[in-house]
Amino acid sequence: MVNQVQRMDGGSQAPKSDSSGASNSGGESSKESSRCSTPLLDADRADRLREKMKRRIESGDRWFSLEFFPPRTSSGAVNLISRFDRMGSGGPLFIDITWHPAGDPGSDKETSSMMIASTAVNYCGLESVLHLTCCNQTKDQITAHLAKAKRLGLKNIMALRGDPLADVWEEEECGFNYATDLVKHIRWEFGDYFDICVAGYPTGHPEAESYEADLKYLKEKVDAGADFVITQLFFRAETFLKFVKDCRAVGITCPILPGIFPIQGYQSLRQLVKLSKLEVPEAMMQVIEPIKDNDAAIRNYGIQQAVDMCKVLLQSGDVPGLHFYTLNREVATMEVLKQLGLWNEDPRRPLPWAVSAHPKRKVEDVRPIFWASRPKSYIYRTQEWDEFPNGRWGNSSSPAFGELNDYYLFYLKSKSSKEALVKMWGEELMSEESVFEVFTNYITTQPNRNGHKVMCLPWNDDPLAPETNLLKGELEKVNRRGVLTINSQPNINGKPSSDPIVGWGPPGGYVFQKAYLEFFTSSENVTALLKVLKKYEPRVNYHIVNVQGKNITNAPEMQPNAVTWGIFPGREIVQPTVVDPVSFMYWKDEAFGLWIEQWAKLYEDESPSRMIIQYIHDNYYLVNLVDNDFPLENCLWQVIDDMFDLLDAPPQSLIT
Amino acid sequence: MVNQVQRMDGGSQAPKSDSSGASNSGGESSKESSRCSTPLLDADRADRLREKMKRRIESGDRWFSLEFFPPRTSSGAVNLISRFDRMGSGGPLFIDITWHPAGDPGSDKETSSMMIASTAVNYCGLESVLHLTCCNQTKDQITAHLAKAKRLGLKNIMALRGDPLADVWEEEECGFNYATDLVKHIRWEFGDYFDICVAGYPTGHPEAESYEADLKYLKEKVDAGADFVITQLFFRAETFLKFVKDCRAVGITCPILPGIFPIQGYQSLRQLVKLSKLEVPEAMMQVIEPIKDNDAAIRNYGIQQAVDMCKVLLQSGDVPGLHFYTLNREVATMEVLKQLGLWNEDPRRPLPWAVSAHPKRKVEDVRPIFWASRPKSYIYRTQEWDEFPNGRWGNSSSPAFGELNDYYLFYLKSKSSKEALVKMWGEELMSEESVFEVFTNYITTQPNRNGHKVMCLPWNDDPLAPETNLLKGELEKVNRRGVLTINSQPNINGKPSSDPIVGWGPPGGYVFQKAYLEFFTSSENVTALLKVLKKYEPRVNYHIVNVQGKNITNAPEMQPNAVTWGIFPGREIVQPTVVDPVSFMYWKDEAFGLWIEQWAKLYEDESPSRMIIQYIHDNYYLVNLVDNDFPLENCLWQVIDDMFDLLDAPPQSLIT
């Protein structure tokens, strides 16, 4: 609570961004994703935030954006990143992250403003705006922050003055005294690289001599090089609409976005009023006071009030997009957006995986399938790849994957506590079959024998994807018998790109998949499987590897196998997912490593449970299978059935 | 006749090559073609001729190769290139071109050995071996020939001594006296770049002291760096088999290919015998003498004799491939190959167009559709493109297409004479409708009103492709009404890659196409068409341009549209044909230019016929249409029908 109040007190308002990766209600990012290997436009220029806004304004397509503040604790950071993924799926044009001078905001700590914004861009694929305040900082410090932000792939800055340290304001000789100074400095040092947002005050800044004087300051900030304005919160639509009119009258022509604050509780409202020196209208207070102890009632009122005000704003024609002060909460803002019809419940995906919003990675359009459930790990392990040649991941054999110890990436830590994991994965394992049961329970979503649901596995931090759900029955059957599946996809023969479950890419297209299955299984099973696979040549491609790297495959040497692709009007073919033999060997290390790092280490050294996991790690094989005949019924289940039949047959069958 | 006799007298025998583009009975070139944008192997090394031979020998897959000599006249050259295309379709591992010291063989004349071999490699996509003789030449001359050959993309040399100018052989001090000297020189100057073939004499070289001495010379040639041997012709299988045995005994381990000479006439056999100093077996002469005046009987006998001998050779297990002295004729050699089952009647195509065999272009795997009927022109106009980035044609906006006057490429000249063209395309054109009739007659293959069949058009040097034949009825209908089609393909939704008409690429795959139609039509028609096309947004993409370059399109800016693609086991997607907006503007110049260069110029200046063609050139538009909805029935015919309906309707319809 302290956090958001600090922010508002500082007089900062938030910028916005387009989740150009994970979701997009407009069509812009589709354009870039459909390019296969022929880069055509300088994506950086056409895709910068101000250009996206411009196109949205021209097309009349309204947007929303979301403001967050950095968390105070590590676990808070893990939760916030999950929230980014969830709220990103609704299709914000951008998010912004506030700057907390007291919290070491430019550091490498996982809770710093800088790192949270970088994570949003790089790992969550969200267009992000980083706040930056200038008072009490030297030019060099500010330049260093900006250079670091650029290096991390951040492209947008909300330029703010911030709060003076002393109660009495003293101008500094060579320092930055106003946001205007910061805007000028950014343009001077970084030219046109950053898109810049500044704050507007619909009722005037509390420290300004007058409303008119404050308008003049805003005009100066814009003239210095700001691209758009986000306002402080306000309680009446007319307050904002008058403000916009006054801005236009003094010659401010850039987009002005209203800051929306859905009231979420009595205490937070009181603190806000105190610190921001805003007055809550009398009529509003008369409604709130009687229900001040009823949190649900207050929140419902806040939602209704915000919806009503936003409707007026949108109908005015002067409001191209809405900016929400979320206070790092989901429910109220999502509800307002849903009621306004701005929440994109079923966002069309430009690609079947979330594109990173890092400028260098925007052109990326193909990835190995192995990291499908661990996209952040993939981005992390390939972050040193300077180029994605021709907009694709290219030849995996040249760029080096990040070291395996890199996978301790902070934001990849399980969202569940050690205690919760032990409950899900077993207090005490009795045998390999106990492990089979954990996998089976994860698939079926049935509680385990101690009554706990298995919500995640070391390789899958989330429940099964809707697409994988299509395979549930088959998956349950094979996991029960020790084919421990960690990744799969059904075959698809030309479904519309708009299909709610498997669709992706621009409208009017068709998407395709080859069936894929990846699992751990015992060496006995592998022996039988290899005999069975001979019958399925060349229909089925396989890679089979153990932790030592013993590798058995029938794949044409070093060639990736495309397993997801799409055909779209007026475009080249897009093939975003491949089974690649080279990267599989890197993935193998990570996949086997997770047995130990995430599972075995839950138990005491030398304990039977730990030894069972260690045994699996040491002796099982990681197998992937592709059925190349995508127009026919998936034969991979038959392959597994044949393997079991062979294992069940009298022993001599294994010799022949 | 003189030519081939000269060649044989010189004691040279021919090497071989794999038409790694147009056709391939084995699977080797499929491997390279299926790579989409991720080059994996050094194609140059794995694909050199000696490696291809090695793989064929290991797999037991027999091959054949064909020897040709350079033509004496320009029209002979045009005919020979057509013959390369026809005989290349049978799947030779390589062809070879003999070297004619008297014919300025290293020059840029279209009849020179060098240019014919270069054309075979670059334009016909045939692996080719260039003969080179060394006697009477300086080291510098030879080095210059070899450097030129390398520059033109030739990779294989048949190293021969050649004939001394004088009747009496005199060793030259610093010159090359034996083929061994030439082999050593090639290796010294060019390292391992060239694959080298040398000649073997199953009955000993006529000038050698003895059979044994000649074997010793052959051993020296091989030890100097030759990769394989082709023998002089012989008349009995046992002659060759004994020779191979003797070669092995003296330590010659490389492949030895028998030179097969199907007897094609009595005179040519006599000349051959005289010049090569070979003896025709008595038993053979007893058959031939009685039928010596019956050409057909002689040829039939020659075919039967060659087939019988080849069967013995192949059954011996010592013969991995057969080399044919074609004497630039097709019938006898093709018949022998067919009877042996070596002629690949229905060659699987690695890509839907013939890949150039030039080392730099091997990795090319995508082309604009516009040059589908003029592939040699496309190769010529893009010959300066140093790289095909990532094995694809890449961004057409950066590399420049060759100048339009380049399209007077010699080998692109029509195979028909001016007189024949006038008969086909009309002695005298009366109106635009006369032109419509020519197009319609070309489609229907019906004789025109003067009884001549229209076998070609300026944009199509050959009759309709089998694939286009599928569209014949519709094409006839629209051409009759002035939609003058020059290129089209049907839509295909996942036919097997082995389909005899539309299949291409490795086995077990599926090929796809979007329907495509390209035509010239009047500006009145275009006005109606544009109104109709609004109804087909975004299903149909179009580009419409006139000779001045006025361009109307609904295509996403500068983006190519993939119109042919294939999905194969264990591979990335291949998309070999695209409709590309940038290259369309280059094609437009060529397509309009052909009206004038090939058609208008058949008539007198100022003649009505010429003015009609000039009018069409100046006023018609070139249109291309793509139906993106490949799984549905092709809608492009409906588009044209709608256009005609609109034109037939009362005039006000055109205004609304």
Position A271 scores a pLDDT of 82
Q: What is the H or E stretch that residue A338 is in?
A: helix A331-340
Task: Return the minimum-mean-pLDDT range out of A256-265, B199-208, B629-638.
Answer: B199-208
Instruction: Please state the rounded mean pLDDT for residues B507-512.
Output: 94
Across the A:B interface, residue pairs with CB atoms under 8 Å apart total 137
Residue in A512, A569, A572 nearest the CB of B578:
A572
The region, left, alpha or beta by phi > 0 then psi within -120 to 50, assigned to residue B578 is beta
Q: How far apart are the first and last CA of chain A?
A: 71
Nearest CA in chain A to B571: A561
Q: Rounded distance, CA A485 to CA A496, Å?
A: 28
Res B398 pLDDT > 60: no
Chain A within 8 Å of B397 (Cβ-Cβ)?
yes
Residues 570-599 of A with CB under 8 A from B: 570-573, 575, 578
Which residue, among A29, A37, A558, would best test binding to B if mutated, counting the most B CBs under 10 Å from its CB?
A37
At A101-111, the pLDDT tens digits run 888 999 998 89
Nearest CA in chain B to A390: B390
Q: Rounded distance, CA B602 to CA B609, Å?
A: 9
Which residues does chain A have within 8 Å of residue B629's beta carbon, measured at their own beta carbons?
508
Q: Rounded distance, CA A605 to CA B446, Å?
A: 88
Position B136 scores a pLDDT of 82
Position A345 scores a pLDDT of 62
Q: What are phi and psi of B233, to 5 degrees?
A: -65, 165
Residues 34-93 of B with CB under 8 A from A: 34-41
Residue in A394, A558, A628 nearest the CB of B508:
A628
Q: What 3-state DSSP class applies to B91?
A: coil
Residue in B512, B565, B570 nearest the CB of A556:
B570
In the DSSP assignment, the letter for residue A383 is T
Distance of CA B90 to the CA centre of its chain: 11
Q: What are the structure tokens assigned to A208, written together? A: 């300004």
Chain A within 8 Å of B392 (Cβ-Cβ)?
yes
> Are the beta carbons of A40 and B395 separated by less than 8 Å?
yes
Nearest CA in chain A to B33: A559
> Are the beta carbons of B40 and A397 separated by less than 8 Å?
yes
Give the residue from B409, B414, B396, B357 showing the smallest Cα distance to B126: B357
pLDDT band for position B13 (cuts 50, 70, 90): very low
Query: Which of residues B392 and B312 earns the better pLDDT score?
Result: B312
Q: What 3-state DSSP class applies to A126?
A: coil
Query: Which of residues B610 and B502 earns the better pLDDT score?
Result: B610
Position A231 scores a pLDDT of 96
Q: Rounded distance, CA B457 to CA B291, Å?
A: 44
Res B35 pLDDT > 50: no
Residue in B35, B541, B572 nearest the CB of A570:
B541
Q: Which residue has the tokens 């070609």?
A: B456
Instruction: Please tell me the distance in Å from B192's CA to the nearest CA on chain A.
Output: 25
Position A599 scores a pLDDT of 95
Which residues does chain B have within 8 Å of residue A495's beta carbon, measured at their own beta carbons?
none
Chain B within 8 Å of A508 (Cβ-Cβ)?
yes
Res B23 pLDDT > 60: no
Query: Which of residues A413 and B209 earns the better pLDDT score?
Result: B209
Which residues does chain B have within 8 Å of residue A541's beta carbon, measured at their own beta carbons?
569-570
Position A539 scores a pLDDT of 96
Residues A473 and A634: beta-carbon distance below 8 Å: no
Give the residue from B111, B49, B103 showing the smallest Cα distance to B81: B111
**Weakly modelled stretches of chain A, pLDDT under 50:** 1-44, 167-169, 390-391, 656
Q: Rounded distance, CA B232 to CA B565, Å?
A: 45
In the DSSP assignment, the letter for residue B293 is T
Task: Calculate helix-pair angle for B139-151, B179-190, nearest 10 degrees.
Answer: 60
Q: Rounded distance, CA A393 to CA A353, Å?
A: 14
Position A398 scores a pLDDT of 52
Q: Is the ipTM of this complex over 0.85?
A: no
CA angle A619, A622, A624 (to 5 degrees): 155
Q: What are the structure tokens assigned to A252, written together? A: 């401010």
Give the residue from B60, B58, B62 showing the smallest Cα distance to B16: B62
Residue in B557, B559, B572 nearest the CB of A560:
B572
Instruction: Please state the rounded mean pLDDT for residues B56-60.
Output: 93
Position B43 scores a pLDDT of 42
> Are the beta carbons of B37 and A390 separated by less than 8 Å?
yes
Res B480 pLDDT > 80: yes
Chain A within 8 Å of B541 (Cβ-Cβ)?
yes
Residues A127 and A18: beta-carbon distance below 8 Å: yes
**CA trace torsion B112, B117, B121, B124 (10° rounding):** 70
Query: Which of residues B143 and A500 earns the better pLDDT score?
Result: B143
Neighbour tally for A614: CB within 10 Å: 16
At B215-245, the pLDDT tens digits run 999 999 999 999 999 999 999 999 999 999 9
Which residue, among A33, A559, A582, would best test binding to B if mutated, counting the most B CBs under 10 Å from its CB?
A559
Chain B within 8 Å of A395 (Cβ-Cβ)?
yes
Position B272 scores a pLDDT of 80
Task: Indicate which residue of B28, B32, B67, B127 is catalytic.
Answer: B67
Instruction: Please tell me the distance in Å from B133's CA to the nearest CA on chain A.
Output: 40
Annotate B586-624 with b (16+ C-beta within 10 A) or e (fewer).
bbbbbbbbbbbebbbebbeeeeebbebbbbbbeebbbbb
| Beta pairing partners, B249 | none
Collect all residues with Cβ–Cβ distance below 8 Å to A248 and sequence separation of at least 6: none
Res B155 pLDDT > 70: yes
Percent of chain B whose predicted confidence (pLDDT) is above 90? 58
> Are the beta carbons of A562 and B569 separated by less than 8 Å?
no
Res B205 pLDDT > 90: no
Q: Rounded distance, CA B486 to CA B593, Å?
A: 14
> Are the beta carbons of A37 and B392 separated by less than 8 Å?
yes
B28 is catalytic: no
For every residue of A229-262, DSSP letters joined together read EEEEE-S-HHHHHHHHHHHHHTT--S-EEEEE--
At B583-603, the pLDDT tens digits run 899 899 999 999 998 999 999
Which residues does chain B have within 8 Å of residue A388's beta carbon, measured at their own beta carbons?
none
Query: Which of residues B157 and B362 earns the better pLDDT score?
Result: B157
Can you give the length of chain A in residues?
656
Q: Rounded distance, CA A361 to CA A372, Å?
A: 17
Q: Rounded distance, CA A386 to CA A382, Å?
A: 9
Position B347 scores a pLDDT of 58
Q: Rounded distance, CA B286 to CA B291, Å?
A: 10
Mean pLDDT of chain B: 85
> Are the beta carbons of A571 and B562 separated by less than 8 Å?
yes
Q: Rounded distance, CA B436 to CA A183, Å?
A: 67
Res B413 pLDDT > 90: no
Which residue, among A387, A573, A580, A627, would best test binding to B if mutated, counting the most B CBs under 10 Å from its CB?
A573
> Are the beta carbons of A570 and B578 separated by less than 8 Å?
no
Collect all residues with Cβ–Cβ distance below 8 Å to B11 and sequence separation of at least 6: B160, B161, B163, B199, B201, B205, B206, B232
Residue in B40, B555, B561 nearest the CB of A559:
B40
Residue in B556, B569, B573 nearest the CB of A565:
B573
Chain B within 8 Å of A456 (Cβ-Cβ)?
no
Which residue, among A491, A567, A574, A635, would best test binding to B if mutated, counting the most B CBs under 10 Å from its CB?
A567
Residues 624-653 of A with CB under 8 A from B: 626, 628-631
The verdict on whether omega for the bond into residue B202 sits within 30 degrees of 0, i.e. cis, is: no
Q: Rounded distance, CA B4 to CA B7, Å?
A: 5
Burial of A652 (0-12, 13-18, 19+ CB in 10 A): exposed
Whether this model's pTM surpasses 0.90: no
